[in-house]
Amino acid sequence: MAEIIRTVGLKREFIVGDEVVRALRGLSFSIDSGEFVTIVGSSGSGKSTLLNILGCLDVPTAGEYYLDGVSVRNMGKNDRATLRNRKIGFIFQNYNLLPKTTSVENVELPLMYNRDVSASERRRRAIEALTAVGLEDRLMHKSNQLSGGQQQRVAIARALVNDPVIILADEATGNLDSKKSYEVLALFQKLHRAGKTILFVTHNPDLEQFSSRTITLRDGRIISDVRNDNIQSADEVLANWKEED
Ligand SMILES: Nc1ncnc2c1ncn2[C@@H]1O[C@H](COP(=O)(O)OP(=O)(O)O)[C@@H](O)[C@H]1O
Ligand SMILES: [Mg+2]
């Protein structure tokens, strides 16, 4: 399996006043193509800090980060932005969609930076990505006309449209009720079956049983990194769903 991500002794420190916050205290791990990894840990354990570095939104204070074989550490801001745009699909807790903008336009956005993609090709790929997340009947709805679960699926389509080497999701189910969370997990499992590499960050340990590996963070350190031989099916959970009130 090809290695997509490798970190060596990754550290991130923040200076706040005259205090040093050690958000990441030396993380070394690698992720292969086709893995579905959950990163779990309580609030403040360093999950978002790590994901922002892996997503090329931030740089480490020390240590190495290789994305698809390329060292990110000494890259300039512009090169990092290009790398992010070509190789990373990012999904956030609050969806980060443009308001009053249609699904299809939101999903087209990452392709606007790519001059090799024509307007018609852009539209075709946006529709394809929205169809993959089951929103083919919501193409022209504006984001404020969609439910939270639908907005998150638009955000997932936007993350897919560039065909990134890895999808990074930071608390992607954090604003959703449990049924909608399982729907998003079912979608991630479908993408995983289709060969996508996914890094799913959550503070909720109940959600780790749906991926093939769990990395647990505590106080900026990896305290365990285990394979899951008994992956649960989110589709099955949904099929047996009993509405409670
Ligand atoms: N920009 C920042 N400036 C200062 N401290 C930060 C910053 N970002 C995160 N931290 C601190 O780093 C630690 C890890 O934060 P974070 O990565 O957001 O954790 P998590 O996503 O697991 O809740 C926390 O103690 C947090 O307060
Ligand atoms: Mg966080």
Per-residue pLDDT of the chain (245 residues; tens, 9 = 90+): 699 999 999 999 999 999 999 999 999 999 999 999 999 999 999 999 999 999 999 999 999 999 999 999 889 999 999 999 989 999 999 999 999 999 999 999 999 988 899 999 999 999 999 999 999 999 999 999 999 999 999 999 999 999 999 999 999 999 999 999 999 999 999 999 999 999 999 999 999 999 999 999 999 999 999 999 999 999 999 999 987 75
Residue from 14, 61, 94 to probe ligand 1 pocket by mutation (most atoms less than 8 Å from CB): 14
Separation CA 97–CA 116 (nearest Å): 24
Q: Which amino acid is at 84?
A: R
Is the separation of the CB atoms in 7 and 221 below 8 Å?
A: no
Task: Check if the beta carbon of residue 238 is closer than 8 Å to that of residue 218.
Answer: no
- Which residue has the CA at smallest separation from atom 25 of ligand 1? 44
**Centre of ligand 1 from the C-alpha of residue 57, in Å:** 14
Determine contact, residues 105/98, Cβ cutoff 8 Å: yes
Tell me, in angstroms, the distance from the centre of ligand 1 to residue 51's CA. Answer: 11
- 178 vs 65, 174, 236, CA distance in Å? 34, 9, 14
CATH of domain 3-239: 3.40.50.300
Nearest-angstrom CA–CA distance, 108 and 139: 11
With b for 16 or more beta-carbon neighbours within 10 A and e for fewer, the 108-137 pattern comes to bebbeeeeebeeeebbebbbebbebbebee
242: left (phi over 0), alpha (psi -120 to 50) or beta: beta
Question: Which tokens go with 69?
Answer: 């074989």
Q: How far is the CA of 64 from the centre of ligand 2 (A)?
A: 22
CA-proximal residue: ligand 1, atom 3 (nearest): 14
Atom of ligand 1 at shortest range from CA of 46: 17
Largest CA distance in the chain: 54
pTM of the model: 0.94
